[in-house]
Homo-oligomer: A and B are copies of this chain.
Amino acid sequence: MSDATRAATPRHIREIDRFDLETDVVVIGFGSAGACAATEAAGAGAETVILERGWRGGGTSAESTGQIYMGGGTPLQKACGFEDTPDEMHKYLVASCGPGADEAKIRLYSDRSVEHYHWLTGHGVPFDMGFVDYQVSTMPEPGKSLSYTGSERAWPYREIAVPAPRGHTVQNASGEVMMQRLMQAAQDAGATVQNGTQSETLVIDDDGRVAGVVARVDEREQLVRARRGVVITTGGFVHNHDMMRWYAPDLLRCGRAIAAEGGDDGAGIRMGIGAGGAAIRMDAACIVLGFAYGNRKNIHGILVNTRGQRYVNEDVYQSNHGEIALKKQDGQVYLIVDDSIYEPVPTGMDEEIFTYNVAAVANTGEELERELGMPENSLSHTLAVYNEHAARGEDPLFHKERCWLRALDKPPLAAIDLRVDNAPYSLFTLGGLRTQPTGEVLDTDGEVVAGLWAAGRSASGIPAQGYNSGLSLADCTFSGRMAGISASGADG
């Protein structure tokens, strides 16, 4: 295959004369999931070796802005005066991470999220005790770690669960600092890190149990025995064109991958499948269409499809808009704004990524629909109805929050081009190995694959098919911990 090394054919232990290295637990990958898995496994007394492909760890997490979705009443939430409970968090996540949300994982995480906060801060991950409302500010603010990073206040979610901000952004939005602390924690716990090591495939024994890893260091093969098991934490598969094509062809239309260079090639998922694991929800992805980054006023605009119809409340979270536009509107959408909203260049954002093209400008809705090639009385009707109600603070179609409602009556009007071929749809994959909340990998019969765990984006986790910012790091760190504990044998 063209994209990456072969991984799906396990090596049988009978073909191995002797191992170069023996340990209790092998963790493949030293991103956030791997670091947390190793910290827990080593902390529980298991001899633990981390095999990291790069010359240092960190993975995609180190390149992130360090947003971690936590709630249920964390110290940061309390310090900022917000009430939250595990039940409200659970209700919100089930509603926003479906259809088919993994309720067992969501339940466990909602119940233990406060404990997870203490675990992270206990290992030195820093948060600042302030709240920033992105409705007002367009950028993270120094000294303020808490913010809304999902659709908690948007319809219909605000009717399903009491909204609370649950985005916990690491100090200075530094995923790098977060990863330094987590990598240090793993080493402090006694885990051994071996960088520059490409894990190629798994080793299985006569009973089909995963018993080790075939790795490569420089040009030399290294055979690593794992007495207790292997934890796969190598990320998703957005960089593997072949897997994308066959599992999720729709997603190939998106132009930009959110993933560390050289990572997320699906190797871990393929190893897991080769050992008998089931890979599920492989079409799911976080698809960000951040049309309001840098200019929150854009949420005052309206999103329409090529028939000029609105299709969503514009105040749902940015990381949902890409998925809704791509999967439900064929990626053919525009943002309509008036002159009081429009800004040519977003403030403080990467212009390469977040500058959008204007598809048409006109003084009236009728003119704009003609310019866009839409039928007469389509977009113009949508605008008239929207304006009439927005002036009264109402949105009978989609119940956009009142603070975002304002008639678009300051010409000229502009149609910002959010069609998938012309706008930055950024994504990472959410599908992966089917796991228990313990991280144990399951086969397609629903049986445990002995000796194998997966965590983070190599597994299908809390954000099973729906996303809020911070959920991936939440899931990576927490599912990593659960897998590390389970693999160490400390939970049995």
A interface residue numbers (CB < 8 A to B): 1, 6-10, 12, 14, 98-100, 206, 208, 242-243, 245-247, 249-250, 252-253, 266, 269-270, 273-274, 276, 278-283, 307, 309-310, 327-329, 375-378, 381, 385, 396-398, 434, 443-447, 465
**In whole angstroms, what is the CA distance A329 to B381 when docked?**
21
> Which residues on B sit within 8 Å (CB–CB) of A252?
100
Residue pairs across A and B with Cβ atoms less than 8 A apart, 29 shown, are A1-B445, A6-B445, A7-B445, A8-B278, A8-B443, A8-B444, A8-B445, A9-B208, A9-B445, A12-B206, A98-B249, A100-B249, A242-B446, A246-B278, A246-B280, A246-B434, A247-B281, A249-B465, A266-B444, A269-B444, A273-B276, A279-B279, A281-B283, A283-B283, A307-B309, A307-B398, A328-B329, A375-B397, A377-B385
The 5 A-B pairs with the shortest beta carbon distances in the complex, nearest first, are A100-B249, A375-B396, A1-B446, A8-B443, A270-B444
CB nearest to A2 among chain B residues: B446
A447 and B249 contact, CB distance less than 8 A: no
**In whole angstroms, what is the CA distance A183 to B6 when docked?**
40
> Which residues on B sit within 8 Å (CB–CB) of A273?
273, 276, 278, 443-444
CB nearest to A271 among chain B residues: B444
> Chain B nearest CB: distance from A311 CB in Å?
8
State whether A274 and B444 are in contact (beta carbons under 8 Å apart), knowing that A249-B99, A377-B385 are contacts in the complex: yes
> Which residues on B sit within 8 Å (CB–CB) of A270?
443-445
> Which residues on B sit within 8 Å (CB–CB) of A376?
396
A100 and B443 contact, CB distance less than 8 A: no
A9 and B249 contact, CB distance less than 8 A: no
**In whole angstroms, what is the CA distance A246 to B10 when docked?**
24
> Chain B nearest CB: distance from A302 CB in Å?
13
B397 and A274 contact, CB distance less than 8 A: no
CB nearest to A98 among chain B residues: B249
CB nearest to A384 among chain B residues: B377
> Which residues on B sit within 8 Å (CB–CB) of A99?
249-250, 253
B249 and A8 contact, CB distance less than 8 A: no
- Other 19 A-B pairs with CB < 8 A, given A10-B208, A273-B278: A1-B446, A7-B445, A8-B276, A8-B444, A8-B447, A9-B208, A9-B445, A12-B206, A98-B249, A99-B253, A246-B278, A246-B434, A247-B280, A249-B465, A274-B444, A282-B282, A283-B283, A376-B396, A381-B385
B243 and A279 contact, CB distance less than 8 A: no
Most chain B beta carbons < 10 A, residue from A14, A269, A276? A276
CB nearest to A4 among chain B residues: B445
B328 and A274 contact, CB distance less than 8 A: no
**In whole angstroms, what is the CA distance A279 to B245 when docked?**
13
**In whole angstroms, what is the CA distance A398 to B266 when docked?**
40
> Which residues on B sit within 8 Å (CB–CB) of A281?
246-247, 283
> Which residues on B sit within 8 Å (CB–CB) of A98?
249
> Chain B nearest CB: distance from A170 CB in Å?
33
> Which residues on B sit within 8 Å (CB–CB) of A444?
7-8, 243, 266, 269-270, 273-274, 279
> Chain B nearest CB: distance from A28 CB in Å?
16
> Chain B nearest CB: distance from A373 CB in Å?
10
> Which residues on B sit within 8 Å (CB–CB) of A447?
1, 6, 8-9
> Chain B nearest CB: distance from A304 CB in Å?
11
> Which residues on B sit within 8 Å (CB–CB) of A385?
377-378, 381
**In whole angstroms, what is the CA distance A67 to B460 when docked?**
38
**In whole angstroms, what is the CA distance A245 to B460 when docked?**
13
> Chain B nearest CB: distance from A347 CB in Å?
33
> Which residues on B sit within 8 Å (CB–CB) of A280?
246-247, 282
**In whole angstroms, what is the CA distance A278 to B396 when docked?**
46
**In whole angstroms, what is the CA distance A223 to B206 when docked?**
19
**In whole angstroms, what is the CA distance A99 to B247 when docked?**
11
> Which residues on B sit within 8 Å (CB–CB) of A250?
99-100
